[in-house]
Chain A
Amino acid sequence: MKIIPYSEDSLAESLQNPFTTPDIIRDKNHYLYLQGYLGDEGLKSATIVIEDEYVSKDFLEDYASYYALCFEKYPKICKRVHFFANTFTEEEFVQEIINGDNESPFWDGYLGFIVVKPIPVTVIGYTVLKAYSGTRNFWGVRKYKIHMFGNCLEIESLAFQEQDAVLAACATTAIWSMLNKAAADFHTTLKSPSEITKDADNKHLDGSRLFPNSGLNIIQICQAIINSGMVTEVKSPNFPFTNALYQADTCIPNRYLKKIINAYAPIGIPIILVIDVPNGDRYGLHAVAVSGHKMKPLTHIDPQAQISYLSDNIEKLYAHDDQWGPFARITFKNDQLVTTWTEVHPQKWPTILKHIIIPLYPKIRISHADISNLVLGFDGILTTFFDGKILADLVWDVRILFSENYKTIVRDSTLGDPRKIEILSSSLPKYLWIATCYINENPILDIMFDATNVRNGMICNGVVNYLPDDVTKPLVEFLEFNDPLLDLSDFLGSHRLARDYFEYFLKKLKGE
């Protein structure tokens, strides 16, 4: 064990190994990123504790499948580097270890650890560092129990590691980070990077070998996720634009990305973004795992014909980028992204979103796209009713929730008690799509959809009406009076059960 004060030099020295000098460490993107993340602008690390011999199960799997068979004698034992925000001497640290009091204020300063692998250059192994605090929403994190010299500490994070480039490329590492959360919540298998790569396929599309790994395509990424016990939804780029190289290109616009992030975040599984990043004088495809976002407060929007979404207020995303570090910031500029790749590029070329891969629990069968079309229809009807009468535009928050979490929202809402009790005591599916309609900060309606149902059915299974009676009554009269015109077939497009949706909505507003 070694205890040293935190500095940029001591960070480089603590990350070295027999195959990688501190100078090589200083040239790495990760070192640059960690300086910011652990430094004064970030977690404010003050002390480093180095655990010289550490057995990392994650590395052992990869060691057994590849490094053990190399002629070079790579060790199988790693070292673990811990970071603290507090300063202390070795005597004080030893005393805390012996006291064994996990609740001691001393441990509040614990920031997490990095496992340093005994291989050349790609040394950053299993890493668990605290997420930023503040107003950010880190939904893709979990609690990690960290055993340290007989003490058991707990921090909220999402595991990170850099790509090994032999056994895994960026996509594999993004899947690995995602599985770290999914495996904690569901009956999903957490695998090592080499196992994930093996799960993806047994060869490249051109027939060449998968190890050493030079990358996966979208189909292989999805196959690897499916083999871990989940299913995937994939969104493709369909928005044409001219890129920084003056070539015709396609991307997924930011507004749609924000809708998807907001919709699936409450389930808590990191979402994989496939992005085209500037790399020298060209672009290259890369994958990152989004685990959090930051949303600005609701602002007033004047009533308008185009639908407004709460997700429009998302201003930043946080993603594990295996070539930089954990919780790397992504911002939005026009219809492209600004990532660390953009920030370090001499011409600041933007990052382009090419695909969104949403890993899901198989029981979630109804997609955001299925619900969005219905919500657009309901917005059309309410917009027609409220024309010129409301203080602000109708703003929709469409997201999938665990039903127990939705009940908590209802319990704390402005609903009258009898209706609250009715919902709290009702039996609901495990997953619900909830479309909440706001006027300013006031929810006026929740439309509930059974996320485990079949898309061709009438999947609406509740309408929670927060409106006062003196607004509900004219709304019901308006719907009944204009029934043929407002029949949702006008608004719900091609849905074959449009009539059923309309009648159900009306019935629920009438309290039947």
Chain B
Amino acid sequence: MLKFALLKKLSMQEPKKTENQLQASQILKEGVTFDVKEIDSSSDSFYNTVKEEVKRQQDEMRRFNELDEDQLRFVVQL
């Protein structure tokens, strides 16, 4: 019912926005085309650099969430 009411309200608006408004030119470099191919997964590839970086940051995140029990006992007193 709600969906119907919203559709009715929007159908009265001009111009209709059936597609996303974001254009490829707003985010992509000029003249870019997508040639879908297999990722280069060799050891010095961009794919492996990104993968290593993701892993490094995930490890860093894990460290931030480890608790140091001794420090929890220091008194906050100022």
Closest to B53 in A: A305
Q: A236, B3: Cβ atoms under 8 Å?
A: no
Q: A421, B6: Cβ atoms under 8 Å?
A: yes
CB 8 Å contact bits of A463-484 with B (1 = contact, 0 = none): 0011111110010011001100
Most buried by A among B29, B34, B38: B34
With A219-B73, A390-B29 in contact, do A478 and B53 touch (Cβ < 8 Å)? no
Q: A379, B10: Cβ atoms under 8 Å?
A: no
Q: A442, B57: Cβ atoms under 8 Å?
A: no
Choice from B18, B23, B61, B71 contacting A218 with Cβ under 8 Å: B71
Q: A307, B57: Cβ atoms under 8 Å?
A: yes
B-contacting residues, A161-206, CB 8 Å: 169-171, 204-205
Closest to B7 in A: A421
Q: A384, B39: Cβ atoms under 8 Å?
A: yes
Q: Which chain B positions have C-beta within 8 A of A235?
A: 64-65
Q: B27, A485: Cβ atoms under 8 Å?
A: no
Q: B27, A390: Cβ atoms under 8 Å?
A: yes
Closest to A394 in B: B27
Choice from A204, A416, A478 contacting B36 with Cβ under 8 Å: A478
Q: A218, B63: Cβ atoms under 8 Å?
A: no
Whether A373 is near chain B, meaning CB under 8 Å from some CB there, is yes
In the complex, what distance in Å separates the CA atom of A218 from the CA atom of B70? 10
Q: A377, B54: Cβ atoms under 8 Å?
A: yes
A-contacting residues, B23-75, CB 8 Å: 23-24, 26-29, 32, 34, 36-39, 41, 46-47, 49-51, 53-55, 57-58, 61-68, 71-75
With A287-B76, A481-B36 in contact, do A369 and B51 touch (Cβ < 8 Å)? no
Q: Which chain B positions have C-beta within 8 A of A277?
A: 78
Choice from A417, A439, A465, A469 contacting B27 with Cβ under 8 Å: A439
Closest to A380 in B: B54
With A391-B28, A421-B10, A490-B51 in contact, do A467 and B22 touch (Cβ < 8 Å)? yes
Q: A238, B66: Cβ atoms under 8 Å?
A: yes
Q: Which chain B positions have C-beta within 8 A of A237?
A: 68, 71
Closest to A286 in B: B78
Q: B18, A305: Cβ atoms under 8 Å?
A: no
In the complex, what distance in Å separates the CA atom of A307 from the CA atom of B46? 14
Q: B3, A274: Cβ atoms under 8 Å?
A: no
Q: A218, B76: Cβ atoms under 8 Å?
A: yes
A-B contact pairs, 6 of them (CB 8 A): A217-B72, A236-B64, A236-B67, A367-B65, A414-B22, A425-B2
* B→A interface (CB under 8 Å): 2-3, 6-7, 10, 16-24, 26-29, 32, 34, 36-39, 41, 46-47, 49-51, 53-55, 57-58, 61-68, 71-78
Known A-B contacts: A306-B57, A387-B46, A391-B28. Give 17 more (CB < 8 A): A205-B73, A215-B75, A236-B72, A238-B64, A250-B71, A285-B76, A286-B76, A286-B78, A287-B76, A355-B71, A379-B54, A380-B51, A380-B54, A384-B47, A422-B3, A442-B27, A468-B22
